[in-house]
Amino acid sequence: MKTFWLVPACVSTFLINISFGQTETESPSSTVAPKYSNEFLSIGLGADALGLANAVVAQTGNVNSGYWNPAGLTQVDKWLEVGLMHSEYFAGIAKYDYLGLAHSLDEKSTLGFTAIRFAVDDIPNTTQLIDNNGVVDYDRITTFTAADYGFLLSYARKLDIEGLSLGGSFKVIHRKVGDFARSWGFGLDAGLQYHTKNKWKFGLMARDVTSTFNAWVFTLDQETQEVFLATGNELPENGLELTLPRIILAGYKKFDIGKKGFYTSAEIDVDITTDGRRNTVVRSGVFSLDPHLGIEVGFKTFVALRAGISNMQYVKNFDDSQSFNIQPNVGIGLNFKSFYLDYAFTDIGDASVALYSHVISLRLKLNKPKGNKE
């Protein structure tokens, strides 16, 4: 019987804290939650970027740029570029999928589309485990899915200043937790890239530049509400959830090694968050700074070895002392003609908890199909 009382509480906690992205300081019934929402869009995509600790805002220049910095889409030089990725976290419980498309309109402009799904499927719903007569009936257990969807439509264009590109993304967010709750949200991202002739690259990315909102609607039936109240859970209320702007500043430099095609490159990005005090290297009540660094060594475009560090933070130990932790990331990339295969060994958790996963992504560059001759 004790198991029954615990499981509904876990379901409610999952609905409110995990899927809705609230912090410990927020009330489940609050109507507006301007904290840490839509965090699934901060995981990142593309094993090449993940191996570099997501330090790619200045250098990104492929189909994945629709997510990292839409200004980088101007470097897409094919009729169509396709990006695919699948990864699993928490021993396969959570699944993350990505599809990206980028189409070069002309020499100066590119159109991109990004679709992201992060979900936990087949979650047991035990709120109806016990019938009205107090009898445990396992046939009454059903399952549901908690899924987050993000869709980005991006456009980028080279400006009249040589080396300068501008891009933007309109994003639609849909989040669904079984039949219990769902939300729709909208937002805008904007980015700049500037490439110099001496292989320096600079990037600026403004995510949720106008703030992104999610409007939540809860549809708990009467019987489920009674179970929630009986097990000590508060009933969630319809409300608006806000994602405040995040600014990313980035700098990149490439160095040639000899004249045989070998090279090394490095990029450092600094995330500036405006949603309150975070556990980062530099933090305050107004903004927090989170630096991350990526280094790559490769031979032409054929092979690249990658490494990066991120999640630099101070962690409090049980004896109240503090230790400085970082998250290492590694990866490798292979390219054969228009086919790109990337692998990364990375983590989505904080630096104090090892939640590493293997991530593989693919990219394809396609030429315009030739018309049939009559």
90 domain residue, yes or no: yes
pLDDT at 11 over 60: no
Quote the pLDDT of residue 233: 75
373 domain residue, yes or no: no
Reported as a pLDDT band with limits 50, 70 and 90, residue 151 is very high
Quote the pLDDT of residue 117: 94
338 domain residue, yes or no: yes
Entry pTM: 0.82
Identify the domain containing residue 71 by its residue range: 2-366
User: Tens digits of per-residue pLDDT, 70-101?
Assistant: 999 999 988 999 999 998 887 778 889 999 99
- Higher-confidence residue of 6 and 39: namely 39
371 domain residue, yes or no: no
Quote the pLDDT of residue 353: 52
Strand 109-125 and strand 164-177: the pairing is unpaired
User: Tens digits of per-residue pLDDT, 256-274?
Assistant: 998 888 999 999 999 998 7
- Higher-confidence residue of 139 and 202: namely 202
User: Tens digits of per-residue pLDDT, 22-65?
Assistant: 333 344 444 555 556 788 888 899 999 999 999 999 999 999 99
168 domain residue, yes or no: yes
User: What CATH number does residue 338 fall under?
Assistant: 2.40.160.40
130 domain residue, yes or no: yes
Quote the pLDDT of residue 67: 96
**CB of 240 within 8 A of CB of 31?**
yes
**CB of 62 within 8 A of CB of 76?**
yes
Indicate the number of domains in the chain: 1
Quote the pLDDT of residue 26: 41
- Higher-confidence residue of 234 and 190: namely 190
Q: At what angle do helices 222-230 and 2-13 cross, to 10 degrees?
A: 110
pLDDT at 153 over 90: yes
- The average confidence (pLDDT) of the chain is 82
243 domain residue, yes or no: yes
pLDDT at 123 over 80: yes
Quote the pLDDT of residue 34: 54
User: Tens digits of per-residue pLDDT, 320-355?
Assistant: 787 778 888 999 999 998 999 999 988 755 444 556
- Of all residues in the chain, the percent with pLDDT exceeding 70 is 86
pLDDT at 20 over 60: no
Average pLDDT over residues 2-10: 33
17 domain residue, yes or no: yes
Average pLDDT over residues 212-226: 79
